Amino acid sequence: MIGLRSGTLSVESGRFRSQIPGGHVRQGARAKIVFKFGPGFPERRSRLLSVEFGKFPDGELMSLALARGERITAKFVVSAALPPRLVLAAICSLLLMAATAAADDHNPFAGDPKAAQAGEYEFRINCALCHGLGARGGGRGPDLTRAQKKHAHSDAELFQVISNGIPGTVMPANGTNGQGVGMTDEEIWQIITYIRSVEVKTAASPRGSAAHGRELFYGEANCSLCHMVEGRGGRLGPELTAVGGSRTRAAMIDSVRNPSRRLAWGLTEATKEFPQEYETITVVTADGKKIKGVARNEDNFSVQMIDASEQIYLLEKDKLRSFQKSRESMMPTYTRELLSDQDLDDIVAYLISLGAK
Amino acid sequence: MSAGRKFAAWSLFFFACVFVPPAWAQVTFERLLNSAKEPQNWMTYSGDYSGRRFSMLGQINTTTAHTMVAKWVFQTGATGKLETSPLEVDGILYATAQDDRAFALDAHTGRPIWLYQHPLPGDIRPCCGRVNRGLAILGDKVFLGTLDAHVIALDTKTGNVIWDVVAADYQKGYSFTVAPLAVKNLVVIGVSGGEYGVRGFIDAYDAASGERKWRFYTVPGPGEPGHETWEGDSWKIGGAPAWNTGTYDALTNQIFWPTGNPAPSNRGEGRAGDNLYSNTLLALNADTGKMNWYFQFTPHDEHDWDATEVPVIIDSGGKHLIAQANRNGFFYVIDRTSGKLISASAYGKITWSDSKDADGRPVARKEASPTLEGHTVCPGALGTTNFMAPAFDPQTSLFYVTARDQCDIFSTAPQPYEAGHAYYGSAYFPSEEAEPYRGFLKAIDPATGEVKWKFEHTSPTWSGVLATAGGLVFTGDAEGNFIALDAAKGKVLWHFQMGGAVYAAPIAFAVDGKEYVAIAAGSAVYGFGLP
């Protein structure tokens, strides 16, 4: 190891804003960077990096993972490893630091309560619209307070999910939702730190029996008359294969005990900013036939609905004798007399086991 | 000669006599000023300088509307939201699409004449989609404001770039989405970027050369009146963008231009004061850009209630008025010679204000401020209305506006400013406890502020409104319908499913004596007419 460059930088408001002269690095060089901060700050060391850029631009904005509002001086030492023909004329840029953070599996803020708070604010601005205040899940996004997550387990995986989005879902890649240039790496790590701080650790043995829940779902609880799971079941209500991975236990229990309190999102959730929901539609056709069912879609002039016998009706509103829309769900209210707490726990356990797949 | 052939020959003769080829005349300021003399053309964003989005064409009317058909569809190839309001001059339609596309179409067939796309850098900072709301036309040029804060003049016949000037640094969050307004020899344009802590401005460029003639900063600097309404250095990043098209009054030689939210939008801490001239209607001298008067709708806004809605010039009973259906839920009527408020009436669901000051201006309740934990306020952050263009019909004397009833949870959190980084001071969320959102087309009587009729949509829409001398109002919905209603009663007379949500505003024009109505939906522009 040869120390090639060292010095001090001043930090303002949690970010380096230093002008650093540019320089050249030979392609294929590998470097390790050690940042040593003032008292109270742990030394931070990058992994061995392949330096893929030939040139560091002049005057790049430095961005380092520090608590906001701090004014400290940081000493930094840039060390280079083999190959020995490595030449580092001058070093350091935001790019390199970003590469360090992104390539590093290690969350530089892990367990830091200040970073968690900064992350909470960032979460509200960037995530809460879908994932809800407090990360407990919203209309679209899963509850993130559950320790077990479907798409990411480690901090590094969370980082990837936030950075790149989840293909095939409405989770966008950072900076691609038409709102600005996205979060910096350090802000993503802060959000991850925040999410970790609000996670609810699950009990050693999960509540409820998934096997019994499955029996109930397809059996005497009659869930499968209206709900499909893994290709089996009815068509009137929402498909539930993935629901256990995205809704909180409490939300699932609430939607069984009080099905009308909050109707499920319907067909157009992903593309519209307003809800299209499983509202109950009752119409009387021109020839006097009464049809009651669930809206699949609707506009000012037509309605597409499905009734309890799974018949689809395509209707023009001006040809109907009457049209009524209600937020009273067609799903029966499962009281404790109909379904005990224990049985409901079992069904929820079954859905959670499916959602974790 | 058979009867059929005779008919054909006569038809040809008549066609030759009646069909006057487009004059290809340049669009002079006089033509824009006297647009009433050529109702077949739609030459400014709102159709004329008053902002009333009213067409004097009446071929399509309450009797014939039910027979309307789609005449053509032009696919832009863009994805996302089309917010464009086209122009139409002498048989050619000019419009824009996402990512700063501009194009000219044969207004009779929808066939393109030229297509232009401005090369955008990868790191632009759009607020709310990579959108554009349209062009201005003057002389032989159309004018485009771009998402990287350029102002560009394109040749009307070819789309060739005549000049291209940079107005501001897009990496600090400056951008243009607005349709500019051509006045005299100037191209007037307001900047976007209230979400990035820009310092807002309205610019005027010489249409011939692109030279900047004046700039009005919507956040006053040190020594300027209004500067004292900003705490410390907060004025430097005070927002107050000007991203919707204003109007022009030849009588007083004033440009009326509305401004948007102070930054950060959801946090008042650190910018104590009224934050002039955010959420304000500005009356500027058209030649100099100097301010004659201002009226601030929502002082020290903490709910992102941009006052950027089109201010509509109305003359009524000898009074020179200007009216705006504001995002904060009130309909304001102002004397446009003095800037004095005449009336402010709620036209949607509001909880933020329950009193008025001595001038009759609604005053915010202290409890309406966003809190750390968040609480529900109406209207929500999207407002009772937003950028959707309204219309005023001098025949019915009604003001038509797209409105929504939606409440949101407003929460706030400290957020340090970083150049070019989204700067909200936290955010809003749909309120779970509130009723489902409702969307309307409302007809307001400016004389009383009363809502005379309303038409409820299936869900809230972002469509603008057009009124015509045929006794019709046109609007679109979020489910993709284009709808014609009776202007007097709000009864639906005709509708067409376009297959894409509407975020744009309709226009009307005539080619070869036949009236058309055009609107963008999904990723296409549609032309409608009688069979």
A21-35, A232-246, A339-353, B171-185: range with lowest mean pLDDT: A21-35
Q: Is A173 found in the same domain as A220?
A: no
Q: Residue A105: which pLDDT band, with cuts at 50, 70 and 90?
A: low
**Is the pLDDT assigned to residue B71 strictly greater than 70?**
yes
Q: Is A180 found in the same domain as A47?
A: no
Paired tokens of B360: 């009759």
| Domain end residue (candidates: A103, A121, A141) | A103
Paired tokens of B43: 């030459």
B221 Cβ contact partners less than 8 Å away, ≥ 6 residues apart: B227, B235
pLDDT digits (tens, 9 = 90+) for B267-297: 999 999 999 999 999 999 999 999 999 999 9
**B287 belongs to the catalytic site:** no
Domain boundaries, chain B: 23-517
Residue from B313, B417, B414 nearest B372 by CA: B414
Paired tokens of B158: 């070819």
Mutation to test the A interface, candidates B132, B195, B382, B421, most A Cβ within 10 Å: B421
Residue from B477, B463, B493 nearest A318 by CA: B493
Q: Is A341 found in the same domain as A216?
A: yes
Task: Give the mean model confidence (pLDDT) for residues B154-166.
Answer: 97
pLDDT digits (tens, 9 = 90+) for A135-168: 877 656 788 888 778 788 889 999 999 988 888 7
Please report whether residue A76 resides in a domain: yes
What does A29-93 look like in DSSP terms, one character per residue? -EEEEEEE-STTS--EEPPPEE---SEEPTTPPP-----TT---EEEEEEEE-S-TT--BSS---
pLDDT value of residue B128? 83
CATH number assigned to the domain comprising residue A214: 1.10.760.10
Q: Is A340 found in the same domain as A230?
A: yes
Which residues 266-285 on chain B approach chain A with CB closer than 8 angstroms?
A: none
A272 and chain B in contact, CB less than 8 A: yes
| Domain end residue (candidates: A66, A85, A103) | A103
**Is the pLDDT assigned to residue A27 strictly greater than 70?**
no
Please report whether residue A300 resides in a domain: no
Q: Is A255 found in the same domain as A216?
A: yes
Q: Is A143 found in the same domain as A49?
A: no
Q: Is A186 found in the same domain as A155?
A: yes
Q: Is A77 found in the same domain as A24?
A: yes
A117-121, A217-221, B231-235, B515-519: range with lowest mean pLDDT: A117-121
Please report whether residue A289 resides in a domain: no
pLDDT value of residue A34? 42
A24-38, B189-203, B507-521: range with lowest mean pLDDT: A24-38
Q: Is A185 found in the same domain as A55?
A: no
Q: Residue B154: which pLDDT band, with cuts at 50, 70 and 90?
A: very high
Paired tokens of A21: 């002269």
Please report whether residue A243 resides in a domain: yes
Q: Residue B379: which pLDDT band, with cuts at 50, 70 and 90?
A: very high
Helix, strand and coil percent figures for chain B, each rounded to 5 = 10, 40, 55
Which strands form B492-497's sheet, in the order they lie side by side?
B54-55, B465-468, B472-476, B481-486, B492-497
Asked if A13's CB is within 8 angstroms of B436's CB, the reply is no
Partners of B418 on chain A (C-beta within 8 Å) are 15
DSSP 8-state class, residue B459:
S
Compute CA distances A78 → A40, A101, B460, whole Å: 21, 16, 57
| Its pTM surpasses 0.90 | no
pLDDT value of residue B434? 57
Please report whether residue A314 resides in a domain: no
Asked if A133's CB is within 8 angstroms of B374's CB, the reply is yes
Mean pLDDT across chain B: 93
Please report whether residue A310 resides in a domain: no
Which residues 397-426 on chain B approach chain A with CB closer than 8 angstroms?
A: 409, 411, 413-416, 418, 420-422, 424, 426
Strand partners, B429: B409
pLDDT value of residue A19? 26
pLDDT digits (tens, 9 = 90+) for A32-89: 344 444 444 444 443 333 333 222 222 222 333 333 333 333 333 333 332 323 223 2
Assess: ipTM above 0.90.
no
pLDDT value of residue A202? 60
Q: Is A151 found in the same domain as A218?
A: no
Could you tell me the residue range of the domain that residue A193 belongs to? 113-198
May I ask the CATH class of domain B23-517? mainly beta
User: Residue B329, Cα to own-chain centre: how many angstroms?
Assistant: 17
Among B304, B306, B393, B477, the active-site one is B304
Q: Is A232 found in the same domain as A337?
A: yes
Task: Say which of A68, A125, A277 has its CB closest to residue B424.
Answer: A125
**Is the pLDDT assigned to residue B234 strictly greater than 60?**
yes
Q: What is the Cα–Cα distance from A199 to B311, expressed in whole angstroms?
A: 49
Which DSSP helix (H) or strand (E) runs through B201? strand B201-206
Number of structural domains chain A divides into: 3
pLDDT value of residue B323? 98
Please report whether residue A24 resides in a domain: yes
Q: Is A93 found in the same domain as A153?
A: no
